[in-house]
Chain A
């Protein structure tokens, strides 16, 4: 495994990180053997959670379950309620109704300090007057009575965690002297120090620049795999959610839109919101009749009689729209507005001719399409269509994409 952190290439033997993580996990398991509570990662059950702030309903009946050791992403736009849900899990907010079970135990009335969860904040919330060492040791230093550990053991744990997050020689630094990525790793080590049963992360990489963000999130996934700790992280970055999570929970306006694996979410979205939120999309008003999809009087494929007749929306991804020269007969007429270069892709913005709508097409640069200039007339043909009836009712799950009937020429 090679990690590149802070512009240094740090080569880690796979054994080292895993060994460390396993050490920590095994040590905690041994310690807990004498405790009455079963020592396993917590399963989570949320049922009908409702939370209001004044007139604003942040969560409107959320039901969710997470398995032991799962890496779950809460994905959604601002205001979808995902951070509120996380805070309810941590105990920082109380739901107005609904129940919350951590490992089968009702924890609604249990204070955050007693829930044994770890929370990593978007802006780290490191204690600025304490060194890195004392920050990480904080959770261990505030333990009271018989839970309190001897100083030497606290020291051991902190040093091992520092090694795990690869900040070995920085224990005497203050947070103000660290970079963003380093601070986030300290925040993570601090949360892990108390051996939580559940790890919660609130947009953990939101405040970091793109390169550091990419490196850290892959590292986090690796860490999760070694430790097997149930983790839930909140993000509005779909790329992050789809790349990291075992399952993604797409939220909008206080409700869960869809729960599924990243592949399920991307390939088989069950609502227009999910389709439009994940990846780019174009939406065409169309008509389903005689078992076909009709856009602007032209048929673009058979629906296989799965969909009812009537108005509908046809969603097409930008890379599923084919551009041909005008005059070749078949296709939605459009005029090129502007062409953008994005790496090895061309992004083409077009105005439709028969309605006021801007459509986006993505094309690989290497494919020659002919002359693409602003103002040129072209024809668009969708290759794959995702259909949603205009009534707004949910489509049957796992619906098949509509295939264009192959046309000659």
Chain B
């Protein structure tokens, strides 16, 4: 009986013996999807040039200009009373805005990722709104709402509440501008993680809060940290929105970025760049923190995204 051997065989396990075009031992195997060396070098060179020109050079320039008149002048500039007040204000605004955005961001991401409800796509659009709006416009919104001639102006005046040109206005503007950072970091993360873990917790008898605190929160902690880092960096460095609502009262309603502008306009370059260098330092610290997080917990970050 002649029989044709058919298709039902064990699957072939790919290995060195079955791969075609084997390289001589000792040399790395050239993959079919890697560019040739010259192309790789060119692309890397372009990237480095871009980064060098637009990022590294300006940063170096900031520090160079700040230290132009020597270390003593530098230290004097950053310990001057108005500068210190600006630093305190920046820290205060960030200390209020970031935790609030943390709560808002987690709540929004939780609602969007785990539930279906009418208006969900609207909420997602609103979350992205501060990104698409110019920071100056973001600040203007608050002036138009709470300013003396704004919608709530008369009501606020009647109750002796002042928002524009005070710290509260700064905080509000900062919250608006930095809102998306945490939410945008968490939404795709939570959507990818899905609802199965939470469902398992519910069926096991956990309440809504227990499910959130014991199951959801640990799952998102690295994404959360990431988002907080970015949110903080932006909160401290925000200029446009804050400038509109600030009033620029030296020593009172000037954050660090605003103070830099004032010093620069008075031709106090050393002072301006000195304070700017602190902001640049903050940027570097943020970058390093981000990289550290990725380096140490990269595996978990990736695992959390499945």
Taking Cβ atoms with an 8 Å cutoff, the residues of A that contact B are 90-92, 111-115, 117-119, 121, 123, 125, 127-130, 138-139, 142-144, 176, 190-191, 194, 338-342, 346-347, 368-374
Contact = CB atoms under 8 A, between A and B. Distances in A.
A92 B203 contact: yes
Interface stretch (B3-11, B80-88, B119-127, B241-249): B3-11
Given A92-B202, A111-B202, A139-B206, 9 more contacts: A91-B203, A112-B203, A130-B218, A142-B204, A340-B4, A340-B8, A341-B3, A372-B3, A373-B2
Contact of A142 (B5, B199, B205, B303): B205
Contacts of B206: 113, 138-139, 142
Contact of A346 (B3, B204, B214): B3
Contacts of B197: 125, 127
A128 B219 contact: yes
Interface string B98-116: 0000000000000000000
A132 to B, nearest CB: 15
B201 interface: yes
B160 interface: no
B205 A128 contact: no
Contacts of A370: 1
Contacts of B1: 368-372
17 contacts: A111-B202, A112-B202, A113-B207, A119-B200, A127-B201, A127-B218, A139-B204, A142-B201, A142-B206, A142-B207, A144-B207, A340-B6, A340-B8, A341-B6, A341-B8, A368-B1, A372-B2
Nearest to A116: B205
A347 B5 CA distance: 11
B8 A342 contact: yes
B135 to A, nearest CB: 38
B23 interface: no
Given A121-B196, A123-B196, A127-B215, A339 B203 contact: no
A66 to B, nearest CB: 18
Contacts of B191: none
Nearest to B9: A341
Contacts of A347: 6, 8
Contacts of B214: 127, 138, 142
Nearest to A143: B205
Interface of B: 1-8, 196-197, 199-207, 210, 214-215, 218-219, 303
A51 to B, nearest CB: 15
B6 A338 contact: yes
A127 B217 CA distance: 11
Contacts of A114: 205
A144 B2 CA distance: 72
Nearest to B4: A339
A339 B8 CA distance: 11
A58 B219 CA distance: 31
A91 B200 CA distance: 11
Contacts of B7: 340
Contact of A121 (B2, B3, B200, B219): B200
A347 B8 CA distance: 10
Contacts of B5: 341
Contact of A190 (B196, B204, B219): B204
A347 B210 CA distance: 56
A113 B205 contact: yes
Which of B5, B6, B196, B200 is the most central at the interface, judged by chain A CB atoms within 10 Å of its CB? B200
Contacts of A342: 6, 8
A92 B199 contact: yes
A368 B1 CA distance: 8
Going nearest first, the 7 A-B pairs with the smallest beta carbon separation are A340-B6, A139-B204, A125-B200, A129-B218, A125-B196, A142-B206, A119-B203
Which of A111, A117, A119, A129 is the most central at the interface, judged by chain B CB atoms within 10 Å of its CB? A129
B42 to A, nearest CB: 40
Which of B6, B7, B203 is the most central at the interface, judged by chain A CB atoms within 10 Å of its CB? B203
A113 B203 contact: yes
Contacts of B205: 113-114, 139, 142-143, 194
A342 B3 CA distance: 12
A190 B215 CA distance: 15
A342 B7 CA distance: 9
A123 B219 CA distance: 16
Given A90-B203, A142-B205, A371-B1, A128 B6 contact: no
Contacts of A369: 1
Contacts of B207: 113, 142, 144
Given A142-B210, A339-B4, A342-B6, A129 B203 contact: no
Contacts of B4: 338-340, 373-374
A201 to B, nearest CB: 12
A91 B2 CA distance: 59
Contacts of B8: 340-342, 347
A109 B129 CA distance: 39
Nearest to A139: B204
Contacts of A143: 205
B125 to A, nearest CB: 22
A207 B215 CA distance: 23
A191 B210 CA distance: 17
Contacts of A119: 199-200, 203
A122 B215 CA distance: 19
A90 B202 CA distance: 10
Contacts of A368: 1
Contacts of B3: 339, 341, 346, 372-373
B196 A194 contact: no
B5 to A, nearest CB: 6
A142 B280 CA distance: 47
B2 A371 contact: yes
Contact of A138 (B2, B204, B219, B303): B204
Contacts of A190: 200, 204
Which of B199, B202, B205, B215 is the most central at the interface, judged by chain A CB atoms within 10 Å of its CB? B205
Nearest to B210: A142
Which of A113, A115, A176, A346 is the most central at the interface, judged by chain B CB atoms within 10 Å of its CB? A113
A10 B206 CA distance: 35
A123 B8 CA distance: 29
Contacts of B2: 371-373
Contacts of B6: 338-342, 347
Contact of A117 (B201, B203, B218): B203
